[in-house]
Structure 1
Amino acid sequence: MPATQNAAAAAASPASTTATTSTSTPQPAKPAVVYRDARYGELPAVAHVYALAFWDDHIFGHLIHPKRDQFPLDSDLYWLRRARVNYWDYRYKWLVAVVPDEKAAGGEKVVGVAQWERIGDGGKALECAWWDPRNLLKPASALAMSVHEKIWPNRAADPDKEYVIESAMPFLHDVWVGERGESWYLAFLGVDPDYQGKGIGKVLTRWGLDRAEKDGVVASVISALGKNGFYYRCGFDEQHRRATDGEGNPLGHTEGSDILWKWPSKR
């Protein structure tokens, strides 16, 4: 994965029919995008990027957060509380894309986020030994976030739908099995709308595809509605099952959610 992605632009002034000399007006270089591991202190910024990226998504936006226009910052809480718990799960790889910003904390602004998860025995190998004190961080954070939720409820969310994703996961128990059981899974990908179309999402996606290829396992993602084309362009090459499958699945009435796969060159 490249450490930085630089972009620069220069414009030349049109030639003049009367002037004997011409000069070019240099344009300021666009800020470099840096890709690195996310830091715990950046999770509020990570949550905000997710909230913006999924604002109009038919599930995370319209279904889960029907009052997001009335309480625009509350949808950040949905992502923040989950991030503060899952950050301590060592099966996850949290990546961010940042650009220089003097107004942001640390002089950097988070503009893109990818949350990759290693599924299968390979994921178990990334976990801490049972006696490692770091194992206490995730349950302690989960307890803290449950208290946090009672004090600061997510007013933008429909209380009956806020945990619909978690309720749907048991219906996918037979998806990541067999030769699909070992996988690098792109749990979430989000890019700030002001920075979309610049290739940031593709770089964040390529990290997992390259890692899966290196490990000799399949890469997978549940594609949001209308995003299949993007993931195919990134390298995913197969659609198998949908996250809405299964009788009684609470997401059964929704569209999209195709599960896409990228097989390693050596299967």
Structure 2
Amino acid sequence: MSLTANGKATLTTAAPQEEITIRRATLLDGPDVGKAAATAYFSTPLTSWISPRREKYPAAYQRGFFERAVTRILSPRNETYVACLSSPEGKIVGAAQFVRLGDDAGARKMIRDVGLVRRVLFWVLSWGFWAWCQVWWLFQGGDKSIDREAVETFAAWCRVDQGRFWEGREERVNRWHAQSVVVLPEWQGRGIGKRLMAEVLRRAERDGAMVGLESSVKGEGLYRRLGFELLGRFTTQADAMEGGDKGGVMAWYPEGWKERHSGES
């Protein structure tokens, strides 16, 4: 599936024999990472509710995903991976963005490894990108693809679950967190999501840190197969919108993590 110029989602046929390569993303991949997310989420019930006018205003709809993708890549705590076709054009068919939270040894090492010069550069670019985005939206008259009341309601739901599952939990502060894991619809079912997740699980195993995420109904089966455990269903109506009995906040633990943190929960 892909988005046409008028925002319509059209089904495309993938070539099953093409090899997929997983690599670290660069800043130049930001637009394609955002486009992949916009396409993957286009037909979901949650997106239909939050962005009911996405077909009428496709540029605004895709822009939000583009901005989030680039903003994350510009963070020194971010790791973004892309799944690309091995053909010369290297089309991106999937992407995953992860953030390293906390202030343990693993988090501090990650910041150090980025380097001071790169951190300063990314800070400057982040502010410049933010300012450019504000000007762009000003000339567009805001995001006309969204329902503002739905956006505010969903944000409130997220704050509820943030407080319930993460805030005030000392044992969960130092973690990797999946911000977005997407695969284009025509490439799903080929193990690409599993390969993208494997990148952060390797890092988390090395750090001795847990991995957290918010899973959709569709994604829960994949995460369970990777060893994730359900911390709890979504507190509010988001779960009912996505199916009611699946999806929620999940966590993966490296070997020995539970033993080390047994007295903190």
What is the CA deviation profile of residues 196-231 of structure 1, one whole-angstrom value per residue up to 9, with x for unaligned ones? Answer: 111111100111122111111111110013321121
Tell me by how many angstroms 1:42 deviates: 2.0
Distance in 1 (CA, whole Å) between partners of 2:183 and 2:33 is 10
Distance in 1 (CA, whole Å) between partners of 2:139 and 2:247 is 32
Distance in 2 (CA, whole Å) between partners of 1:187 and 1:132 is 23
Aligned to 2:64: 78
Aligned to 1:135: 123
Aligned to 2:21: 34
Q: Secondary structure at the match of 1:227?
A: helix
Aligned to 1:160: 149
Match of 1:52 among 39, 46, 70: 39
TM-score in terms of structure 2 length: 0.76
Distance in 2 (CA, whole Å) between partners of 1:201 and 1:226 is 12
TM-score in terms of structure 1 length: 0.75
Alignment CA distance shift 1:73-1:233 (3 Å): farther
Tell me by how many angstroms 1:150 deviates: 2.0
Aligned to 2:94: 112
Alignment CA distance shift 1:108-1:264 (3 Å): same
Q: Secondary structure at the match of 2:205?
A: helix
Larger RCO, structures 1/2 (Cα 8 Å, 6+ apart): 2
Tell me by how many angstroms 1:117 deviates: 0.9
Match of 1:175 among 165, 170, 176: 165
The code of the aligned residue for 1:116 comes to: F
Verify the 8 A CA contact 1:213 1:264 in the aligned structure 2: yes
Match of 2:178 among 178, 186, 194: 186
* Structure (1/2) with the larger helix percentage: 2
What is the CA deviation profile of residues 87-133 of structure 1, one whole-angstrom value per residue up to 9, with x for unaligned ones? Answer: 2111110100011456xxxx210100000111111445534659834
Task: Select between 250-259 and 67-76 the one with higher mean Cα deviation.
Answer: 250-259
Q: What percentage of aligned pairs have identical amino acids?
A: 24
What is the CA deviation profile of residues 49-95 of structure 1, one whole-angstrom value per residue up to 9, with x for unaligned ones? Answer: 10111112222x12211122333443211101122222211111010
The code of the aligned residue for 1:38 comes to: A
Aligned to 1:150: 138
Verify the 8 A CA contact 1:46 1:113 in the aligned structure 2: yes
RMSD over equivalenced CA pairs, Å? 2.8
Structure of larger gyration radius: 1
Match of 1:265 among 250, 255, 260: 255
Alignment CA distance shift 1:147-1:173 (3 Å): farther
In structure 2, runs of 5+ residues without a counterpart are 1-14, 258-265
Distance in 2 (CA, whole Å) between partners of 1:189 and 1:84 is 15
Distance in 1 (CA, whole Å) between partners of 2:213 and 2:183 is 16
Aligned to 1:126: 110
Count how many residue pairs are aligned between Structure 1 and Structure 2. Answer: 230
